[in-house]
Amino acid sequence: MEYLSVSEAQRVVLESVATLGAEQVKLEQSLGRVLAEEVRANRDQPPYDISAMDGYALRSADLGAIPATLQIIEDIKAGDMPTKTLASGQCARIMTGAPMPQGADAVIRVEDTQTIDSGFPHPNPLGETTSHSTRLQTTAAKSLVTPEGEGANVSPRENLFNLVQINLSVKPGHDIRRLGENMRNGEVVLTPGTEITPGVIGVLATVKRAEVQVYRRPRVAILSTGNELEGLDEPVDPNKIPNSNSYALMAQAQALGIEPVLLGIARDDPDELARYLQRGLEYDVLLVSGGTSVGVHDYVRPTIEALGAQMLFWRVSMKPGHPVAFGKAGEKIIFGLPGNPVSSMVCFEQFVVPALRRMMGHARTYRRTIAARMTHNVKHQPGRTEFIRVMLAQEEGGYAATSTGAQGSGMLLSMARADGLAVLPAECNGLAAGSMVTVQLLDGTVFQEDAGFKE
């Protein structure tokens, strides 16, 4: 029987699966999904020039000599619209996010100013402490108190009391967020295929999308097969093997944002198996654990083919996990995963992860790989691509990878301990301590476009 390499098998899988259709979901439910539509800005953001700081909106040309004393003619809070136009020598107290008044071309942070205590009790909207205040002494300040002329649009009382000393000179545009600098009305801000991260959710809320079109998630069924298997809800029988695969596979799917359906355990009996497989083929994806090998009681192959499935491969040149199968029945896809618990999980990572992510519309379908330094020698017989469970530790300049210990394909504790799978290319003769190896990370939500390893 023909063995495919891991990458050939991955290519067969990805060529056989298509992105599913779209559905509408609430914004609150969209995290981790993939956008199925183009999203445009529905207005200019910000809608006008706004202040980036709490401080004073002013005319930068007034700051020729520092310190400069300006007259505060208005107090603009976020949500207010300015009502006055600044003349020379005037400023407006302004809060972050508030619109810039006419006539102003810069903002000075409150930290770079001092209020001036004119000696009279007066309201202080910013609530600055008197320790930040200086007494009105300068004739320059007094000269600003002009009930007529440029200050004529404020009352004499405001003229007298609302003065501020500016301690910094700035250029026009300082600390202003410009109209439309975040997004322009009608501009495409998100394209189909974008994974919805918290940042994307923020953008969607900005453009008022309470609902979005995302690609559908596949409906996944998981079936375990084997007379020896004991269900999680069954009493412990020393002669049986606990069904761990259904649950480990379930969790691997859940980690991708999919809630699979567990079909239970089918006995090694062609009729019973056919009934279970038929039910499984109602789903977009059927994962069958066990029974894909060549033992006389491995009925999965003849039974699934009798149900009309077209199997595209049965063997991949990898360790652990070579009895791994893949096929299609119409639009439905079927994975035959090895019964050995580690093999089943490793095969899920190599073949099922990219398939499920492709169906959900992701461009990055593969788990992230990193380079790591092996802390010890690793034996390897040339022939098959080998995945070694490793723990990772950060070290200067990168990561150190250490085997989780014995690597038998039934030793599930090795998967429980592993941070990643170190990939030994098929033709490699083993690794010496200190050599670099590619490690496929098992956790995390970051994926990449290519498998990222040579085999």
Which residue ranges make up the site for ligand AMP (CB under 6 A)? 224, 226, 228-229, 241, 243-246, 289-291, 293, 295, 338-341
Residue 103 contact, options Mg ion, ligand AMP, none, Cβ 5-8 Å cut-off depending on partner type: none
- Under the criterion CB under 5 A, does residue 46 sit at the interface with Mg ion? no
> Is the CB of 226 or the CB of 260 nearer to ligand AMP?
226
- Under the criterion CB under 5 A, does residue 327 sit at the interface with Mg ion? no
> Is the CB of 93 or the CB of 322 nearer to Mg ion?
322
Cα 302 to the center of its chain, rounded Å: 42
Using CA atoms, how far apart are residues 194 and 362, in angstroms rounded to an integer? 8
- Under the criterion CB under 5 A, does residue 290 sit at the interface with Mg ion? yes
Amino acid at 53: M
Q: Which of 323, 353, 376 is nearest to 1 (CA)?
A: 323
Q: Is the peptide bond before 320 cis (omega within 30 degrees of 0)?
A: yes
Per-residue interface string for the shown chain with Mg ion, residues 169-208, x marking contact by CB under 5 A: ----------------------------------------
Amino acid at 389: R
Smallest gap from residue 325 Cβ to ligand AMP (A): 11
Using CA atoms, how far apart are residues 42 and 208, in angstroms rounded to an integer? 8
SS3 159: helix
Residue 341 contact, options ligand AMP, Mg ion, none, Cβ 5-8 Å cut-off depending on partner type: ligand AMP
> Is the CB of 235 or the CB of 330 nearer to ligand AMP?
235
Q: Cβ distance 193 to 37 under 8 Å?
A: no
Q: Which residues on adjacent β-strands are paired with residue 420?
A: 390, 441
Q: Which of 42, 27, 58 is nearest to 182 (CA)?
A: 42
> Is the CB of 293 or the CB of 303 nearer to ligand AMP?
293
Residue 342 contact, options ligand AMP, Mg ion, none, Cβ 5-8 Å cut-off depending on partner type: none
**Which residue reads 């445009």 in tokens?**
40
Which helix H or strand E contains 165, and what residues bound it? strand 163-166
- Under the criterion CB under 5 A, does residue 341 sit at the interface with Mg ion? no
Residue 244 contact, options ligand AMP, Mg ion, none, Cβ 5-8 Å cut-off depending on partner type: ligand AMP
- Under the criterion CB under 5 A, does residue 103 sit at the interface with Mg ion? no
Smallest gap from residue 444 Cβ to ligand AMP (A): 26
In this structure, what are the phi and psi dihedrals at residue 247, rounded to the nearest 5 degrees?
Answer: -80, -40
Q: Which residue is closest to ligand AMP by CB?
A: 339
Using CA atoms, how far apart are residues 405 and 410, in angstroms rounded to an integer? 13
Residue 243 contact, options ligand AMP, Mg ion, none, Cβ 5-8 Å cut-off depending on partner type: ligand AMP
Smallest gap from residue 343 Cβ to Mg ion (A): 12
CA distances from 229 to 226, 280, 307 (A): 6, 19, 24
SS3 17: coil
> Is the CB of 252 or the CB of 340 nearer to ligand AMP?
340
Per-residue interface string for the shown chain with Mg ion, residues 210-249, x marking contact by CB under 5 A: ----------------x-----------------------
Using CA atoms, how far apart are residues 283 and 270, in angstroms rounded to an integer? 21
> Is the CB of 150 or the CB of 228 nearer to ligand AMP?
228
Smallest gap from residue 386 Cβ to Mg ion (A): 23
Structure-token pair, residue 312? 């595209």
- Under the criterion CB under 5 A, does residue 291 sit at the interface with Mg ion? yes
Q: Given the rule CB under 5 A, which residues bind Mg ion? A: 226, 290-291, 339
